[in-house]
Amino acid sequence: MSSMDLEQFHDIFFQESGEALDSMEQTLLALPAGQSDQDGINTIFRVAHSIKGGAATFGFTELTSFTHTVETLLDLARSGRVMITNAETDLLLCSVDVMRDLLAAASSKRTPDSARVAAMQAEFVNLIESCAGRKSVSAPVPEIVSTPAVNQPVALANASTSAGGAAGEWKIRIEPRAQMLRHGNDPLRIIEALRELGEVSVRVDAAALPPLADMDAGACYLKWTVQLKTAASREEIEQIFAWIDEDAVITIDAPVVAVPEQTSAQVAVAEAEPVAAPASPVVETKAPTSQPASASRETTTQAPSAESSSIRVSIEKLDELINTVGELVITQSMLSQFATGRGDHSSDDLKNGLSQLERQMRALQESVMRVRMLPISFVFNRFPRMVRDLGSRLGKQVDLKMTGEHTELDKTVLEKIGDPLVHLVRNSIDHGLESPDQRRAAGKSAVGTIHLNAYHKGGNITVEISDDGAGLNRERILAKARERGLIGVDEDPSDERVHNMIFQAGFSTAETVSDVSGRGVGMDVVRRNIAELGGNVQVFSTPGKGSMVRIRLPLTLAILDGQLVRVGEEVYVIPLVSIVETIQIHRDQLSSIAGQTELFRLRDEYIPIIRLYELFEIDADSTDLFCGLLTIVESDGRRVGILVDELLAQQQVVIKSLETNFRPLVGLSGATMLGDGHVALILDVPGLMSCFESGCGRRRPALSAA
């Protein structure tokens, strides 16, 4: 199979490898430090082994070489010769980052950071050599089942020679099973790898080859007998075949000249030789020197599995979709009889048929949307690693709890919610949780808790990030707000308003600026990103007990639950998630500022009024405030009233992008087609507020290009 043929499998390899690395990282984080967990170590070993085998097949030599080094250490751990402590766990977690970078480099066809890879390999080789040196020569040689990089044969041969082996002639029988070629394994590549170990002569057995007319192009009928003259050990030869053991029967006969038995230390060093880094000072491995790599992981995106262009769908969801389509076909056939005039049908039959069609279309819509749904665990799974690394850097002990990981939401929303959650969790660790000494002094456990929770509520998804730290410091926030002129000196705002001040751009109460926080550039981005998703964010805090940030998001960005409103002859859609209530205006509830901005008193709050007909320069039924309705909407903790002529129906609408089909317009987030064929524009509530505050709602045009 040519390299061009193999390229069609690259995307699958990258996606599956990304998922495997996620599994490896989660298993590493769950390993009990200094205790034996054979199942966990075996899981991690299988991940490294699978990635190495795939990388070797596709010719990603640097990834193959590096993963071989990691696998060597893991094999020593499997045999009990290395104890996985916190230092080894840190080193292996850093190796996960390196493998992710190598996968990303191979995927984008760019040159990887070879210096970083070499430095990490040097740490692994140092640890492997130190572990081998602590064992006596009588220690048993572990069974090595890893695969060397096909493109690193010379290093393998040198490793065998340096270990003191003598040349011998091995007889190897390769009998492929029928599926070998279908699985992407090429016998010729294996023979080429054997040739690099020494002198090779090959004899082909074609006795099973059928007549041409009966031949299956995907089956393998040939067998090979290879005579290999090499100083390599049996283990090194077996490594060549480790990743095809299910697709072929391999028989390796003893050499004519026996290879002297190697000590365990020699074997371990030989295994590390093919991937040893260039000469560099060897540092004792107490903790990984690649800590910045793991730290950078905090802000990186999730593995390819969550943000790739493909999506995995369960069979149950596809079966449901197919069943719904089948019911639609039956209904369509029934309704078509009305058009052809066949049969005796009444108007009631037509109504029943249309009602049935409506139900089935709604079911089809929901089934299609469920296909795009993914569990929020794709985002949550990045946080155990981030919390561990950041807590260690800040000297804080943190326990992360996650609930509702199986709550599903649209893939598009899932991809965009990751960064805001990262900012919020980092803030909880840095600002929310106290140091162990401070917590003990306050009568708390030294270990702080961060809780991530997700659940469905009212057709939306709610995500909560809470901690049991000190809570928001109201006095410090107020002092900073007065310093910046956000509130008056004598003003005493509500807790809700004080809490919302942390979302102001550049607002920070941190006394010092660090690489984690303190510049005030995180929380305003959080609120802006969530608003762009059509959601909102609230903050709750109790001094001394902790705080919670609650995010409410739509399940999908493709379909919107909206309230249809009419202004003159135009129909607009207001997202239901933004609507607080709709009321009739009374004269005693009105006031104004400087004769321009009209305010409506809603209980104890004064709310500005947006006259939609002025904003969009259209004709309304009446310009009298008391003849219309005021729809109160909320965004980012702010409320405004939108004046409309009439409330129409509530319905789900399919969002069409104005930016894609026309151009971006201030105050509008999209458009939709109504049942009567007319187009209704969808209001962008945060955009309307910004437009109004900037003055374009005061008899100025709003439909200007963004």
CB of 117 closer than 8 Å to CB of 149: no
What is the per-residue pLDDT across 371-396, written as a single tens digit (0 to 9) for each?
Answer: 888 889 888 988 998 898 899 889 99
Smallest Cα–Cα separation from 621: which of 699, 564, 567, 572? 567
**Whether pLDDT at 37 is above 80:** no
Cα(110)–Cα(102) distance, integer angstroms = 9
pLDDT grade, residue 549 (50/70/90)? very high
Report the 10 Å Cβ neighbour count for 12.
11
Looking at residue 699, the DSSP 8-state letter turns out to be T
- Helix, strand and coil content of the chain, in percent to the nearest 5, comes to 45, 20, 35
Task: Give tens-digit pLDDT for 659-694.
Answer: 777 777 888 888 888 877 788 999 988 888 877 777
pLDDT (0 to 100) of residue 157:
32
* pLDDT for position 132: 59
Pairing of strands 397-403, 447-457: parallel
Query: Given a cut of 90, is residue 565 above it in pLDDT?
Result: yes
Residue 534 pLDDT greater than 80, yes or no: no
For residue 256, the model assigns a pLDDT of 57
pLDDT at 573 over 90: yes
Backbone phi and psi for residue 611, each to the nearest 5 degrees, phi listed first: -85, 105
Side-chain half-sphere CA neighbours of 173 within 13 A: 7
The pLDDT of residue 362 is above 70? yes
The tokens for 316 are 């149950």
The C-alpha R_g of the chain, in whole angstroms, comes to: 33
In the structure, what pLDDT confidence band is assigned to residue 341 with cuts at 50, 70 and 90? Answer: low
Compute the half-sphere exposure of residue 286: CA atoms within 13 Å on the CB side of its CA: 2
- So what's the pLDDT on residue 136? 32
79 or 435, greater pLDDT: 435
In this predicted structure, the answer to whether residue 122 has a pLDDT above a threshold of 80 is yes
Closest CA to 511 of 621, 457, 580, 431: 431
In this prediction, residue 464 carries a pLDDT of: 94
Q: What is the pLDDT of residue 272?
A: 37
Specify the pLDDT at position 275: 36
1-140+264-293, superfamily in CATH? HPT domain (1.20.120.160)
Q: What is the pLDDT of residue 705?
A: 35
CB 331 within 8 A of CB 356: yes
Lowest mean pLDDT among 250-259, 287-296, 519-528, 635-644: 287-296
Q: Which CATH superfamily is domain 559-693 in?
A: CheA-289, Domain 4 (2.40.50.180)
**The pLDDT value given to residue 516:** 57
CATH topology of domain 165-261: Alpha-Beta Plaits (3.30.70)
Q: Is 654 helix (H, G, I), strand (E, B) or coil?
A: strand
The token duo for 572 is: 């607009």
**165 touches 232 (CB < 8 A):** yes
Residue 511 has pLDDT above 80, yes or no: no
415 has pLDDT over 70: yes
Phi, psi of 645 (to 5 degrees): -85, -35
Q: Of 98-107, 243-252, 422-431, 473-482, where does mean pLDDT reach its minimum?
A: 243-252
**pLDDT at 96 exceeding the cut of 80:** yes
Whole-number average pLDDT of the chain: 77
Whether the per-residue pLDDT at 697 is higher than 70: the answer is no
Within 8 A by CB and 6+ apart from 501, the residues are 477, 480, 481, 486, 507
pLDDT of amino acid 75:
84
602-635: pLDDT as tens digits: 887 888 889 888 888 888 888 888 888 999 998 7
Residue 586 confidence (pLDDT): 83
Q: In terms of pLDDT, which residue wins out, 295 or 498? A: 498
pLDDT, tens digit, 9 for 90 and up, residues 292-313: 334 444 433 343 444 445 677 8
The pLDDT of residue 167 is: 65
Q: Quick one: pLDDT at residue 353?
A: 83
The predicted pLDDT at position 526 comes to 84
Using pLDDT thresholds of 50, 70 and 90, give the confidence band for residue 184: low
- Whole-angstrom distance, CA of residue 111 vs CA of residue 62: 10
Q: What average pLDDT score do residues 310-339 get?
A: 83
CATH topology of domain 390-554: Heat Shock Protein 90 (3.30.565)
Instruction: Give one word for 304, left, alpha or beta, with left for phi > 0 and alpha for psi -120 to 50.
Output: alpha
Read off the pLDDT of each residue in 92-97 and give the average, rounded to a whole number.
90
Token pair for 102: 């190598």
User: Which region among 111-120, 193-202, 250-259, 319-328 has the lowest average model confidence (pLDDT)?
Assistant: 250-259
Q: Where are the alpha helices (DSSP H) in 428-462?
A: 436-441
Q: How high is the pLDDT of residue 142? A: 32
How is residue 697 written in tokens? 């709602």
pLDDT of residue 453: 94
Taking a C-beta distance cutoff of 8 angstroms, is the pair 578, 553 a contact?
no
Confidence (pLDDT) at 400? 92
Q: How many residues does this entry show for the chain?
A: 706
Between residues 465 and 362, the one the model is more confident about: 465
The reported pLDDT for the residue numbered 296 is 41
Euclidean distance between CA atoms 496 and 541, whole angstroms = 9
